A and B are shown apart, each in its own frame.
Chain A
Amino acid sequence: MIVNRKPLTLAERLYLPAIVGGFRVTIRHALRSLFGGKTVTMEYPEQKWAVPPDYRGAPYLVKDQDGHTKCVSCQLCEFVCPPKAIKIIPPGPAGELADRPNAEKMPHEFEINFLRCIYCGLCQEVCPEEAIFLLKDYSLTGLSREEMVYGKEKLLALGGVHGGIQKWKHKLEEAKEQENFPVKV
């Protein structure tokens, strides 16, 4: 369809409607944001945005429902980590035992370098024990490079108890069900 351009009226050629409209729109917005307090600005450090549920924030280590370390120092996350931000020192043959009953070991040291981390979430995806999760934290800051390398204690403290996924409890229930499973010969 061809839309013919209407010739401009005299007022339009003098820019009058545009000028009046410009003044009206701008004064309306100015008064609204000046006296009505209706601004779109979120004043960041005081107000923070609610992150969406699937937001990938900083990866932290989580504890199980009893407050034990979930990580078993398998080092899968260390191997999968694309920017090599994770460093795990396993306990070794004579090291300390895990602090929960159904695991053999837990990491001697677990470090995440948040200067390297790219928040990709592969560590969370690969973890067989569901011990590391990308939580909601963003805007991590520090005054030195050393400060940005988080150790095991700090990661566990920040991650907190994550009782929602209780893998071993469910495995136990599954195992019991297996025993009662009617086997047909």
Chain B
Amino acid sequence: MNWNFIIFSVIKIAIVVGVVQGMVAYAVLAERKISAWIQDRVGPNRAAPPFVKAIPGLGPVLIRLGLFQPLADGLKFMLKEDFTPAGVRKVYFWLAPAIAVIPSMLVIAVIPFGSQIGHQQMVISDLNVGILYTFGIVSLGVYGIVLAGYAANSKYPFLGGIRSSAQMISYEISMGMSVIPVLLIVGNLNLSQIIGWQSQHGWLALYSPVSFIIFLVASFAETNRLPFDLPEAETELVGGYHTEYSSMKFALFFLAEYSNMIASAAMMVTLFFGGWTLPFWGLDHPAGNLGMGIAHILVFLVKMLLFVVLFIWVRWMFPRFRYDQLMDLGWRKFVPLALVNILVTAIVLWAKS
């Protein structure tokens, strides 16, 4: 264990966690703004710290875009009363938000968000079993939600928790199986190596589009986003699993949802769209200097944000699935499709070799 490794890891962790938290805050703003535009509304455009109005020209535009709304939202969450209902199981009730948040932050640890700056690889932990780790951690995320539904001792959160356990377990299977063709093609579980393979041979979404589609739909289900937001289902279950939560504990569930979204966007970019590489301008091999290193990080962020926007956009497009349709889609469409996909990929690879 050398000190260099520890110091650089801590710095990387701090930066990544900070950036992800900031992105969560602004993803909420993006959600509100995009929903507003789609629904012919204006969206948040009032929040303004006192000094910003004085900036000529730029100030009103920033306020109009609602760029300070996340600050106000955060402050509001902090200042709200943290209410614990009388009937709840207190230990689990307090534990659940933490269990929901931690996995969503942990997933990001193995994702390479850039090539290298200096001699530091831009990934917190370059695990050899990166994908296995990701699926292991992602499947822990369901415990937070189920525990929240159970601990609240109230019927709507309970229904939300039950639905989420069934839904997330079902879609985890098709999600996991959708990645297997990718692994067959690349022959490696390390996410950095997968990106390296893609920089040589082209994006994996072109090699295995069925995998990508299954992964995309399953990640909508995994992150509880519409059209698969049955655990929350505001119109049916009040607020779903977080009905009884308030203040910062509710904010943690929010944080978990959005950082899950960011994490699965990052996973999709890494697995199917070449991670930090672009096939032109010499961006497809590890950076030699600082400028290229930063350019790689920006490429990754842009790709990821496109997926986050897709997540948000789809939410305002489709109605919620009915529960039996959801299960039908998961078990009777995606699982067989993923199996066939594995088989076809294997046969093609065998024929080629």
Interface residues of A in 84-110 (CB under 8 A from B): none
Return chain B residues, CB-CB under 8 Å to A43: 42, 45
Closest-by-CB residue of B relative to A40 is: B40
Closest CB-CB distance, A56 to chain B, in whole Å? 29
The answer to whether A26 and B41 touch across the interface, beta carbons within 8 angstroms, is: no
By size class, the interface of chain A is 10 to 19
Contact across chains for B41 and A33 when beta carbons are under 8 A apart:
yes
Is A39 at the interface (CB under 8 A from chain B)? yes
Closest Cβ neighbor of B217 among chain A residues? A15
Residue interface mask A18-35, B partner, CB < 8 A = 1: 110011011001101110
Which secondary structure characterizes the binding site on chain A? helix
Contacts of B313 in A (CB 8 A): 23, 26
We find that the number of chain B residues with CB closer than 8 angstroms to chain A is 14
Q: Are A39 and B38 in contact (CB under 8 A)?
A: no
The answer to the question of A144 belonging to the interface, with a C-beta cut-off of 8 Å to chain B, is no
Interchain nearest-CB distance for A15 vs B (Å): 9
B38 engages A18 (CB within 8 Å): no
Asked if residues B318 and A18 are in contact (CB atoms below 8 Å), the reply is: yes
CB closest chain-A residue, reference B42: A41
Question: C-beta contact mask, B149-178 vs A, less than 8 Å → 1, else 0?
Answer: 000000000000000000000000000000
Chain B 315-332: CB-based contact to A (< 8 A → 1; otherwise 0)? 011100000000000000
* A43 to chain B: closest residue by CB: B42
By the criterion CB–CB under 8 Å, are A41 and B317 in contact?
no
Q: Which of B37, B314, B316, B317 contacts A34 (CB 8 A)?
A: B37
Q: Which residues of A sit under 8 angstroms from B42, Cβ to Cβ?
A: 33, 39, 41, 43
Chain A residues numbered 1-55 whose CB sits less than 8 Å from any CB in chain B: 18-19, 22-23, 25-26, 29-30, 32-34, 38-41, 43
**How far is it, in angstroms, between the C-alpha of A136 and the C-alpha of B219 when the chains are bound?**
53
B2 adjacent to chain A (CB < 8 Å): no
Which residues of chain A come closer than 8 Å to B39, judged between CB atoms? 29
Indicate if B36 sits at the interface (CB-CB under 8 A): yes
Distance in angstroms from B179 CB to nearest chain A CB is 22
Residues of chain B contacted by A33 (CB below 8 angstroms): 36-38, 40-42
CB pair A29–B318 under 8 Å, yes or no, is: no
User: How many Å from the CB of A10 to the closest CB on chain B?
Assistant: 13
What's the Cα separation between A42 and B173 when bound, in Å? 47
Which 9 residue pairs are nearest across A and B when measured between Cβ atoms?
A: A22-B317, A30-B37, A41-B42, A26-B38, A33-B37, A33-B40, A40-B40, A30-B38, A41-B41
* 13 additional A-B residue pairs with CB within 8 Å, beyond A26-B38, A43-B42: A18-B318, A22-B314, A23-B317, A25-B317, A29-B38, A29-B39, A29-B40, A30-B34, A30-B38, A39-B40, A40-B41, A41-B40, A43-B45
Between-chain CB contacts (< 8 Å), 16 pairs: A18-B318, A22-B314, A22-B317, A26-B316, A26-B317, A29-B39, A29-B40, A30-B34, A30-B37, A30-B38, A33-B37, A33-B40, A33-B41, A33-B42, A40-B41, A41-B40
Q: Which residues of B contact A (CB under 8 A)?
A: 34, 36-42, 45, 313-314, 316-318
